[in-house]
Structure 1
Amino acid sequence: MSQHPAPDGSPVGTRVVHRRYVPYSHAHYAGNLVDGAYSLGLFGDVATELSIRVDGDEGLFASYDDVQFKAPVRAGDVLEVEAVLVRAGTRSRRLELEVRVVARGEPTAERPGAARVLAEPLVATTATGTVVVPG
């Protein structure tokens, strides 16, 4: 799901959302935890689509600021990943990024595929980032 630029032509406010199931093959630690780099990779994916929509180019991630790991991401989760363009310079784009858990696997011995949709999404990772595009 994505939202196109504002009616005034400004790209600020453009939003891109992806959803992704986290496979068990990505579990890296006890408790089926997934490493924090997984979220950063997803941020790169939504930032790339946002750059394509706004600038017609994939752009390049220049930096992340204030990365916060607020809750665990586990194998079996369904994630919603969002990028919002909050500032647009001549060549740089400032993004707010968020990973939310919207469903979580809850396997048991009797039901190894058990899972549930969360009543409220759980914010797992947040960051701000800067993407640059060719001049």
Structure 2
Amino acid sequence: MSRTSACEPGLRITHRRYVPYSHAHYAGNLVDGAYSLGLFGDVATELCIATDEDEGLFASYSDVQFRAPVRAGDVIEVVAELVRVGARSRVIDFTATVVARGDGDGSSSRMLAEPLLATTATGTCVVPA
């Protein structure tokens, strides 16, 4: 495998996902923090495919912060930004932002005037040499 020309800091990959009500685990239709971490894995996979033509493997998180709740019925935007490239490692900054919020009973949703930063993290993926 060889690195593509996209393997340089600053590359950003964005996913948007509707959070289904089947993922609510807590009162108020709250979703556990692991939901955002799972989406970080998905967007990191696309980033590694774009940079190295391989899915890569998640090695670690060096920082995770849950800043605001994610609820069923939300639409969240997940962004991965490549910040450092090693021989086999890729250090990535992640954000999960709520861009739309459901009304709580599943009957309507609205785009938020100001997106809500829900989760941030920094992680490291490794790819084949």
TM-score, normalisation: structure 2: 0.93
Q: Which residue of 1 aligns with 2:123?
A: 129
Structure 1 segments unaligned to the other structure (5+ residues): none
| Deviation of the 1:113 alpha carbon | 1.4
**Backbone CA RMSD of aligned residues:** 1.2
Q: Identity of aligned pairs, percent?
A: 70
Retained in 1: the 8 A contact 2:29–2:104?
no
Per-residue CA deviations over 1:39-63 (Å, capped at 9, x if unaligned) read 0000000000000000000000000
Q: Which residue of 2 aligns with 1:59?
A: 56
Q: Which has the higher contact order (CA 8 A, sep 6+)?
A: 2
Whole-angstrom CA distance in 1 between matches of 2:69 and 2:31: 8
Residue type of the alignment partner of 2:33: G
Match for 1:38 among 35, 39, 43? 35
Per-residue CA deviations over 1:50-93 (Å, capped at 9, x if unaligned) read 00000000000000111000000000000000000000000000
Structure 2 segments unaligned to the other structure (5+ residues): none
1:28 aligned counterpart, secondary structure: strand
Match for 1:103 among 100, 103, 107? 100
Aligned length: 125
Q: Which residue of 2 aligns with 1:20?
A: 17
Quick check: 1:73 aligned with 2:44?
Answer: no
Whole-angstrom CA distance in 1 between matches of 2:128 and 2:87: 10
Instruction: Indicate the structure with greater strand content.
Output: 2
Per-residue CA deviations over 1:95-131 (Å, capped at 9, x if unaligned) read 00000000000145xxx41211000110000000000
